[in-house]
Amino acid sequence: GDSVTQMEGPVTLSEEAFLTINCTYTATGYPSLFWYVQYPGEGLQLLLKATKADDKGSNKGFEATYRKETTSFHLEKGSVQVSDSAVYFCALSDSGNTPLVFGKGTRLSVIA
Amino acid sequence: ETGVTQTPRHLVMGMTNKKSLKCEQHLGHNAMYWYKQSAKKPLELMFVYNFKEQTENNSVPSRFSPECPNSSHLFLHLHTLQPEDSALYLCASSQDPAISGGVNEQFFGPGTRLTVL
């Protein structure tokens, strides 16, 4: 079945550091890929998405490129802020009406 | 109200109580979901409703009973829960992928933090 694997956390970075959170996937079809973010005490919010190979999703300085050849969708940000501290979830949606498949989440802590 | 709302935001209940969680979406979506998020565990899909019909039940114990009276409202009825059921319960909604171009983008509510004593 479909699955998503993302790097184990927690990840601790200093403010203005470069961020990479790795995500790889296994899917039978041609999935859409998502990154969701969960700030403390809140639900999940869609951060960015990509629906086909080589698409780049971007939002709030975060970027991720859909790489079909490596089945990856790594999340990057050039300069993190304390306010980026949250849990980040990679997810995929295969064709049709199947529910999202989520990774286990990666907790990011950014310190000043 | 916009987006997906959930009430209550916090709930403490005893093992013999009966309570209900409510979710409402104001996005015109056709599908609604219940997830359970426990500490140090992956997000668990519990139930899926499409056009008010339950299409998925991920082996959830019968002490959790969902109800979807219409496409905008989703309830989770709780009865004789166990302490290990304490978790954050998240509701989400999405448009039918056949309408949204095949993309199942889900929108989440803020969750209900449930504590079972």
**Whether B102 contacts A95, CB under 8 Å:** yes
Q: What's chain A's average pLDDT?
A: 93
**Whether B3 contacts B25, CB under 8 Å:** yes
Is pLDDT at B88 greater than 80 in this prediction? yes
Instruction: Give pLDDT, residue B102.
Output: 66
Contact A93 B97 (CB under 8 A): yes
Contact A51 B103 (CB under 8 A): yes
Q: Report the alpha-carbon distance of residue B116 to residue A13 in Å, rounded.
A: 35
For chain B, the farthest-separated pair of C-alpha atoms sits apart, in whole angstroms, at: 45
Cα angle value B1/B109/B101 (rounded, 5°): 90
Look at residues B80, B84, B112 and name the one whose alpha carbon lies nearest to residue B16: B80
Is pLDDT at A96 greater than 80 in this prediction? no
For chain A, the farthest-separated pair of C-alpha atoms sits apart, in whole angstroms, at: 44
- In B, which residues are within 8 Å of A37 by CB distance? none
Nearest to B90 among A34, A44, A95 (CB): A44
- The distance of A80 to chain B (nearest Cα, Å) reads 24
Is pLDDT at B77 greater than 80 in this prediction? yes
The CA radius of gyration of chain B, in Å to the nearest whole number, is 14
Q: Which residues, 6 or more positions from B41, have their beta carbon under 8 angstroms from its beta carbon? A: none
Q: pLDDT tens, B39-63?
A: 878 889 999 998 878 877 778 999 9
Nearest to A104 among B42, B56, B101 (CB): B42
Q: Report the alpha-carbon distance of residue A6 to residue B30 in Å, rounded.
A: 30
Instruction: Give pLDDT, residue A97.
Output: 59
Mutate to test the interface with A, among B7, B58, B104 (most CBs of A within 10 A): B104
pLDDT band at B80; cut points 50, 70, 90: very high
Q: pLDDT tens, A52-85?
A: 999 999 999 999 999 999 999 999 999 999 999 9
Q: Report the alpha-carbon distance of residue A85 to residue A17 in Å, rounded.
A: 13
Structure tokens, B91 = 């509701």
